[in-house]
Amino acid sequence: MLVLFFLTAIFFINFTIRIIISPLLPTISLDMGLSHDQGGSLFLISASGYFIVLVCSGFVSSKLGHKKTIAFSAIAAGIAFILTGLSQGLLGMRIGIFCVGMASALYLPSGMAILTSSIDQGNWGKAIGIHELAPNLSYLLAPLISEVLLLLLPWTSLFFVIGGLSIIMGISFFKFSRVKDFFGESPTLTAFLPLVGHRSFWIMVVLFSLGVIGTLGVYSMLPLFLVDIHGMTRAQANSLITMSRILTLLMPLFIGWVSDRAGLKPTLSAVLFLTGISTLLLGVLNGQFIKMVIFCQPLLAVCFFPPAFAALSQIGSKKIRNIAISFTIPIAFLFGGGVVPNLIGILGDHGYFSMGFILFGSLICLGAGIPVFLKFHQDND
């Protein structure tokens, strides 16, 4: 289906723009003389911009419609990323990364709204599983793209390449896609109130925060962790991380099939527990054993999002679905993809780099008992 292809491709570029800093961080830190705290702060700044705009994304989609919002997000994020590559010094990079986070935040609510409105509910698990190939492919290719281009060009050149691709995809989607467009709900108090009384909405906020910790939170600081604590070169760390992500491409399809049959709640609980254990072990093991865990952890962590998005799409009616996403995802990414990497960096500066993975892996494990309390809303609109 053409719409699914377009959305998956744009989501891939959208995600790559936000995580490409991770495999570049050892080089950026060395080149700019950054501490672990300063390096980790880049993810917090990006997540802060993402948080601010994602909460308000309904204002944009309610005026432009979801199709134009998706195109605008891709084009604006690409321009902001290119400008980040032209920045001089840490302050300029922080401002640029903040703007990239803001622009890229517009995609997800509109993308999920278009996706779930274009595909029958009975196939959501599989469709969302295909859509989730995008971040998993990004996790796989970002280190590889970094290493290949660093052999030929300065690290700033990656900003021009990825930013240019984002602009091209945004224009192509707007011109060639044939989706049925509709307008989103503005995040007004009236639109948000139906969610406030839903205990399941707040449960999903917590669950998504834990899911983001297990994926983006770990991924953001892992290359620097492997270089500084385990003595790997940047190329060795990025090659290992790339290889560990190859099998993750199949996992969203598999977990989408599992969740359609086993149910969303048991699937979410199992995934969180196993992800927490594997994340904890990253901070405990050494040598060949940590390499084994590096391969296992992402296979488990990426399984969270297909059932989680399916669950989030069932706690409210179609009209407020994008509002639920607009309030859940920003909190999750601010904490799991921003605060947590920064805290791990701070721990690293004080000689407790490994403790960060142990601490947050334990937190994910504790969250495995939460999905049982979810209650879903069924509608036919």
DSSP labels, 323-365? HHHHHHHHHHHHIIIIIHHHHHHHHHHTT-HHHHHHHHHHHHH
For 50-67, the three-class secondary structure string (H helix, E strand, C coil) is HHHHHHHHHHHHHHHCHH
Judge whether 124 lies within some domain.
yes
CA 278 to chain CA centroid, Å, is 19
Judge whether 287 lies within some domain.
yes
Kind and range of the H or E run holding 315: none
pLDDT digits (tens, 9 = 90+) for 10-58: 999 999 999 999 998 888 888 888 888 888 889 999 999 988 887 777 7
For residues 226 and 214, give the distance between their C-alpha atoms in angstroms, rounded to a whole number. 17
Judge whether 273 lies within some domain.
yes
| 104 pLDDT tier (thresholds 50, 70, 90) | very high
User: What is the per-residue pLDDT for 35?
Assistant: 86
CATH number of the domain that residue 50 is part of: 1.20.1250.20
Judge whether 380 lies within some domain.
no
Greatest Cα pair distance in the chain: 56
pLDDT digits (tens, 9 = 90+) for 148-195: 888 888 888 889 999 999 999 999 988 887 777 777 666 666 666 767
Find the domain containing 15 and state its range. 2-373
Q: Which residues contact 303 (CB under 8 A, 6 or more apart)?
A: 251, 252, 254, 255, 267, 271, 275
For residues 212 and 260, give the distance between their C-alpha atoms in angstroms, rounded to a whole number. 22
Single pTM value for the model: 0.79
Judge whether 22 lies within some domain.
yes
Judge whether 378 lies within some domain.
no
Q: How many domains does the chain have?
A: 1
What value does the mean pLDDT take over residues 119-140? 78
Measured CA to CA in angstroms, residue 215 lies from 36, 201, 224, 241, 278 at distances of 19, 21, 16, 12, 12
| 71 pLDDT tier (thresholds 50, 70, 90) | very high
Measured CA to CA in angstroms, residue 34 lies from 28, 38, 336, 349 at distances of 8, 6, 22, 11
Judge whether 310 lies within some domain.
yes
pLDDT digits (tens, 9 = 90+) for 281-333: 999 998 889 999 999 999 999 899 889 988 887 876 665 666 777 678 888 98
Measured CA to CA in angstroms, residue 96 lies from 82, 89, 201 at distances of 9, 11, 32
For residues 249 and 247, give the distance between their C-alpha atoms in angstroms, rounded to a whole number. 5
> Above 50 in pLDDT, residue 380?
no
Judge whether 264 lies within some domain.
yes
> Above 80 in pLDDT, residue 122?
no
